[in-house]
Amino acid sequence: MRGVPAALSSAGGISLSVSGLTKRCSKTLSFSRHHIPSPTCFSTNSSPGDSSASKPWLLVGLGNPGKSYQGTRHNVGFEMINAIAEAEGISVTNIHCKALLGKGCIGDVPVMLAKPQTFMNLSGESVGSLVSYFKIPLNQVLLMYDDLDLPFAKLRLLPKGGHGGQNGMRSVINHLKGSRDFPRLRIGIGRPPGKMDPAVFVLKPFTKKEREEMDFTLQRGVEAVRILLLHGFNKSASFVNTPRPSELLN
C-alpha cells in the first residue's frame, strides 16, 4: 500500500508546518505546559528512581493529512485516534515531531495520541522522533493502521510483527532501528474488488453501509485500547481476537 510522500524536514532538527504554524522536534525543544498541558495522571504512580512508572503510552494512528484523504480506507488509523480522543476528552491539536499530538489519561494511565503528518510512507520519521524524544519503551508504543489482509471492519491485536506490506509500518520499523517489538492494532479494510489496484483502493471512501460498520469497529477499538492500558495485553487481545457470535455464523 502506498501513501503520498512529502518532504517536511529541515537542517538542525525536524520541522512541520501546518496551517502556517511551525514546531520543531529537537533535543532543545521544551515540551512545556504551554504547548501540551500535563494531566494529573502524568505525575501519579511514580517513585524516585523509577522512570518507567511515569512513562506514558504512545498511541499512534497512521494516515495521510489533508481533507482530500479524510474518510478514506488508508486513514482508519487517524480515525481510531479521533475516536479515542473523543471518548477520553483529549485534544489532539498540538504539533510536535512532525505529528499532531495530544496528552491525556485513560483511567489513571497517561497517554499521548499522535497522528503523523508526514504522509503514510514517511510515518517513521515522526514515530521514531517521538519515541526517541520522550524515551517511550517500545512495549508502550501502540500502532493503529489499515490492513488489506484482514476482512473489512475486523480488528487484530498483536504484540509484535512485521510490516505486512504496509508502507507506513515499513517506515516505522526502519526508524525504530529495525525493531518489530511493539504492539499494533490492525484494522481490516478488506481486499480491492476485481482487478483494482490496491494503491487506488486504499484511497477510496467508504460506502454508507461500510461507514456504519467501520464506526462500530472504531468504538470496539476504543474499548480494546482501554482494556490494554488498564488490564494488560492478554485481556485486550482476548477481547479483540476472539470471534464474536455474529462472526462465527458467517
Residues serving a catalytic function are: 74
CA distance 233 to 224: 9
Q: Which element (helix H / strand E) includes 210?
A: helix 208-231
Q: Name which of 122, 227, 242, 244 is nearest 183 in CA terms.
A: 227
Q: Name which of 38, 45, 84 is nearest 61 in CA terms.
A: 84
Lookup result for grid cell 489519561: 105
User: What are the CA-CA distances from residue 26 to residues 30, 33, 44, 112 (Å)?
Assistant: 9, 17, 27, 18
User: Any idea what the Cα angle at residue 89 is, between residues 67 and 230, rounded to 5°?
Assistant: 115
Residue count of the chain: 250
